[in-house]
Structure 1
Amino acid sequence: MTERNSQLSWREKLGYAAGDGGFNFFWKNIEVYLLFFYTDVFGLPAAAAGTMFLVTRIIDAFTDPAMGYMADRTESRWGKFRPYLLWGALPLAAAAVLTYTTPDLDSSGKLLWAYATYITMMVAYTFVNIPYSAMLGVITANAQERTTLTSLRFVAAFSGGVIVTWGTPKLVAMLGAGDAQLGWQLTMMIYAVVACLLFFITFISTKERVTGPPQRSNFAQDGKDLLANGPWLVLFWLGLAVIMTISLRNAASAYYFKYFVERPELMGDFLTACMIAYAVGAASTPLLTRFWDKRTLLIWLMIAVGILSAAMYFLPADGIGLIFAFGILISLALGPKSPLVWSMYADTADYSEWKNNRRATGLIFSSATFALKLGGAAAAAVIGWLLAAMGYQANSQQSAESTEAIVWLVTLIPSAFALLAAWIASRYSLNSAELDRIQYQLEQRA
């Protein structure tokens, strides 16, 4: 077995996985709590907050591919991608703390502060996260090892998510001692320190092995290759549909438990149970892929999510046990999604190298990250706009229309996106036999 196709030690697998645990101290807060923080703590109108989430993604349309392009051309004694875990950790930590800080300003000043700090945090996140994600394509070319690596990565990610979803409300209450604004700021300080330590563990534990052929800098050619990469195009739209499914459920859950179930104290427990189910689903992925190929497995999982999410619409507000049961089943079905899709992105990087004799791992993974952030922002925008249209008023008794909108945001709308994702996945063309042939030919070129 060549170094390119190396089997990895558990030290390296767990070290790489630790990084995504760190990222989820930021990302899971953004996905689950940031919109709620802006509307019910920071004091922004729901529509303004939703618009801000979407507007900031325009910047990501430029920064994400630019970061991927830059990382692909970085040369250092630590490799192309690993150094960014050191260079970007502290700026990301600082920007995150400022994002969750509420200044003593009027409404216009607060909105400007929110835009400036959130944009800065997402740029800093891009600077670290895109190189980290691209590392998956260069640590090993072994397809099964990549699936195992991504499974462990997302077990760590969901474990970080468990801490965030369960611990954040409790830490905010404890550290703030009645001052929610202070509680959010101090909570993010703790999360930022832990994330920096996990990034350092990833840096010292991993090695880049897949280098690809030497190539001249040519952004236009890289972009042309990317747009001609059919499997990548399918994955981009698939990732967008799946993250809309997940983000709508997660971000709307705070409103669902506060205003529909009228048991806000259960929100953390519900999201924690879902995160544990996500982790179990992710951990099962290497076993599942021994029986079904990635494409087939993903199609049936998303169909299951669509059916279960639609059925959840009919649950009564006092059916707590059923609400938890459906949430856990949906999360179990969604758990393998992340390991499957991200390992498939690594496969499309190999496909691009095989087809074009050029490797642009960073650019390919930057587009994956952009789809993730775009989907999350679009979900937040949909929530903010729909709530505003239905007459949502923060910390007040909701109208029947706004309550119904909240239920739709957790059930029927995610169901539609899940079924759309299943259809998109059916268009993916790289099966196991084709990937084996590509890997063999790439080895012969090396």
Structure 2
Amino acid sequence: MNQKLSVMEKVGYSLGDLSANLVFQTLMTYLAYFYTDVYGLAPEVATPVIFTVGMVAAFAFNPIIGALADRTYTRWGKFRPWVLFTAIPLSLAALMAFTTPDFDEKGKVIYAIVTYAVLLFLYAANNLPYAALSGVITGDMGERNSLSSYRFVAVMVAQFSVQALMYPMIEYLGNGNKAAGFSQVMIYLAIIGAVLMLITFFTTRERIVPTREQSSSLGQDLKDLSRNRPWLIMLVSTILVFITLAMKGGTYLYYFENYVSKDALSSFLGTFGVHNSENPAATGFSIFNGLGIIFMITGITFSKRFADKYGKRDTFKASLFLSTLPVLLFYVFPPESVWLIFLAQVIHGLFYGISTPLLWAMIADVADYSEWKNNRRATAIIFSAMMVGLKAGLTLGQTFITGLLDFFHYVPNAVQSGETVQGIKLTVSIFAAIPFLLATGLLFFYEIDKKMEVRIENDLKLRRTGVARDTPAAPDAPTHQ
């Protein structure tokens, strides 16, 4: 079967990531702020809600969905039906999770727990099969790199929409009432997200179909995972990467509202033609995120070129390290140094953008590695494990934000003490940078380099076409009777 993908199919697949990231980016950027400053939960209450629900979702929902998806057989394939049937429910759940009901404190806590849990369950049921679809839509490594680039341009569009445009829309549509503004914006996002996910279903197809000889039990799949070192490294790396993304992304709004000089921001915004802004922190926050995303997209354009030349591992490792250095600088910038703050964001966005398309492509490579070693393909459970990492990273990052806000005595919608401002600075810089640096170090032990990528791709092509090989089995591969 031809493994080449048309532009239409690449675009159609990428729209699914745009849809999912309208939800994910909203969670990463606004969840802590929404719960503390809009919904009305104290930081000490928001922290256990985010942590408990998030960790249950990470370690219960994702493995269940992964096991079920790998054992789904329909005329549409294994993973596409999940994309179809969860598109609308996921959008409705996102709307409900960012709605503020007129309940008392206890009622609000219960409502937050229920709606957040339902949202994360449906997100797993939708996004995990969607991610696994990239592992069966083509077996061609070059096409997979190209697909990832399309996909993460879509991610950047979603990120720009949420981080650069959403907050001004919340203020405008809410007319000063942020709770109403959030609800209004989420209505639009729900409609758009559902339509985009349905387009993904209708424009893609699954080309890699496991044979009966590759079928296995859930126990065997888990045993294979436990002996798959690249999978273990990618799991921990994913957790660390998303801790950093959640911590810095979720703290920027606090940083702008409580640390950056409003007068310096107003003067800076004037250079963009924005004069007499009623809320310079909100406007500055949006432009700050927008510039970072524009340069992330620029970085993405270099990603495939570097990955094809140097391999995904080395490209990912280098860009992750270089993107960490500007994050550290946020701690030393004075509140009036708006130009330097924005320049650091631009540099960070450029280097991090190079790494952005590679994460999921590397996970698809891990699925190939597992098939190469074990002669069995278990795509969804491998992706489900990575979704565990993503959800755990998001949960830990958001939990660290609200926990640190509580530790440094943050008071919502008030003038903060010097200790609290110092805590916000530490959170957005030093604390946020540590997981990125740990992930960079861990990637030195990831064995799928450029040379191994090529060997795995060629060996699997020969297997799938039924061509016998006289070369030795993959190293450490178990013997099958």
What interval of TM-score do these two structures reach, taking the shorter chain for normalisation?
A: over 0.9
CA contact (8 A) 2:216 2:376 kept: no
Secondary structure (helix, strand or coil) at the match of 1:148 reads helix
- Deviation at residue 217 of structure 1 after TM alignment: 5.2
Moved more, 77-86 or 127-136: 77-86
CA contact (8 A) 2:299 2:352 kept: yes
- Deviation at residue 109 of structure 1 after TM alignment: 1.1
CA contact (8 A) 1:150 1:339 kept: yes
Q: Match for residue 469 of structure 2? A: none
After the TM superposition, which residues 346-365 of structure 1 pair with which residues of structure 2 at under 5 Å, given as runs?
A: 346-365=364-383
Secondary structure (helix, strand or coil) at the match of 1:388 reads helix
For 1:99 and 1:113, how far apart are their aligned partners in 2? 8
Which residue of 428, 431, 438 corresponds with 2:449?
Answer: 431
- Deviation at residue 12 of structure 1 after TM alignment: 0.8
Structure having the higher Rg: 2
1:18 aligns with 2:36: no
- The change in CA–CA distance for 1:337 and 1:51 in structure 2 (over 3 A counts) is farther
CA contact (8 A) 1:92 1:125 kept: yes
For 2:179 and 2:244, how far apart are their aligned partners in 1? 29
CA contact (8 A) 1:159 1:276 kept: no
- Deviation at residue 179 of structure 1 after TM alignment: 2.2
Which residue of 351, 356, 367 corresponds with 1:338?
Answer: 356
CA contact (8 A) 1:152 1:283 kept: no
CA contact (8 A) 1:306 1:414 kept: no
For 1:262 and 1:380, how far apart are their aligned partners in 2? 25
- Deviation at residue 262 of structure 1 after TM alignment: 4.6
Secondary structure (helix, strand or coil) at the match of 1:135 reads helix
1:195 aligns with 2:203: no
- Deviation at residue 258 of structure 1 after TM alignment: 0.4
- Structure 2: gaps (5+ residues): 263-280, 465-481
Q: Match for residue 404 of structure 1? A: 422
After the TM superposition, which residues 228-247 of structure 1 pair with which residues of structure 2 at under 5 Å, given as runs?
A: 228-247=227-246
Which residue of 32, 44, 50 corresponds with 1:35?
Answer: 32
Q: Which amino acid aligns with 1:45?
A: A
For 1:230 and 1:46, how far apart are their aligned partners in 2? 38
- Structure 1: gaps (5+ residues): none
Which residue of 111, 114, 122 corresponds with 1:113?
Answer: 111
Q: Deviations over 1:60-93 (max 9, x none)?
A: 2011011111111111111111111210011111
Q: Deviations over 1:335-391 (max 9, x none)?
A: 122311211100110111111111110011111112111111101111111110111
- Deviation at residue 252 of structure 1 after TM alignment: 0.4
Moved more, 233-242 or 173-182: 173-182
- Deviation at residue 216 of structure 1 after TM alignment: 4.1
Question: What root-mean-square deviation, in Å, do the aligned CA atoms of Structure 1 and Structure 2 show?
Answer: 1.3
Q: Match for residue 160 of structure 1? A: 158
Q: Deviations over 1:270-294 (max 9, x none)?
A: 1122222222222321122233222
Q: Match for residue 124 of structure 2? A: 126
Q: Match for residue 45 of structure 2? A: 48
Q: Match for residue 367 of structure 1? A: 385
Q: Match for residue 256 of structure 1? A: 255
Q: Match for residue 173 of structure 1? A: 171
- Deviation at residue 238 of structure 1 after TM alignment: 0.9
CA contact (8 A) 1:22 1:194 kept: yes
Moved more, 262-271 or 245-254: 262-271
For 1:290 and 1:139, how far apart are their aligned partners in 2? 19
Identity fraction in percent: 34
Q: Which amino acid aligns with 2:391?
A: K
Which residue of 145, 148, 171 corresponds with 1:147?
Answer: 145
For 2:462 and 2:344, how far apart are their aligned partners in 1? 49
1:278 aligns with 2:278: no
Q: Match for residue 101 of structure 2? A: 103
CA contact (8 A) 2:300 2:354 kept: yes
- Deviation at residue 167 of structure 1 after TM alignment: 1.8
1:323 aligns with 2:320: no
For 1:432 and 1:180, how far apart are their aligned partners in 2? 49
Q: Deviations over 1:152-189 (max 9, x none)?
A: 10110111110111221122122222322111111101
- Deviation at residue 400 of structure 1 after TM alignment: 0.9
After the TM superposition, which residues 39-78 of structure 1 pair with which residues of structure 2 at under 5 Å, given as runs?
A: 39-60=36-57, 61-78=59-76
Moved more, 378-387 or 412-421: 412-421
Secondary structure (helix, strand or coil) at the match of 1:95 reads helix
Aligned length: 443
Q: Match for residue 389 of structure 1? A: 407
For 1:278 and 1:211, how far apart are their aligned partners in 2? 34
CA contact (8 A) 2:63 2:381 kept: yes
Q: Which amino acid aligns with 2:351?
A: A
1:292 aligns with 2:291: no
Secondary structure (helix, strand or coil) at the match of 2:30 reads helix
For 1:138 and 1:49, how far apart are their aligned partners in 2? 39
For 1:110 and 1:31, how far apart are their aligned partners in 2? 21
- Deviation at residue 58 of structure 1 after TM alignment: 2.8
For 1:150 and 1:127, how far apart are their aligned partners in 2? 21
For 1:262 and 1:79, how far apart are their aligned partners in 2? 54
CA contact (8 A) 1:213 1:357 kept: no
1:184 aligns with 2:182: yes
For 2:82 and 2:336, how far apart are their aligned partners in 1? 48
CA contact (8 A) 2:314 2:449 kept: no
Q: TM-score, normalised by structure 2?
A: 0.90
For 1:288 and 1:443, how far apart are their aligned partners in 2? 24
Q: Match for residue 202 of structure 2? A: 204
CA contact (8 A) 1:154 1:338 kept: yes
- Deviation at residue 231 of structure 1 after TM alignment: 0.6
Q: Which amino acid aligns with 2:12?
A: G
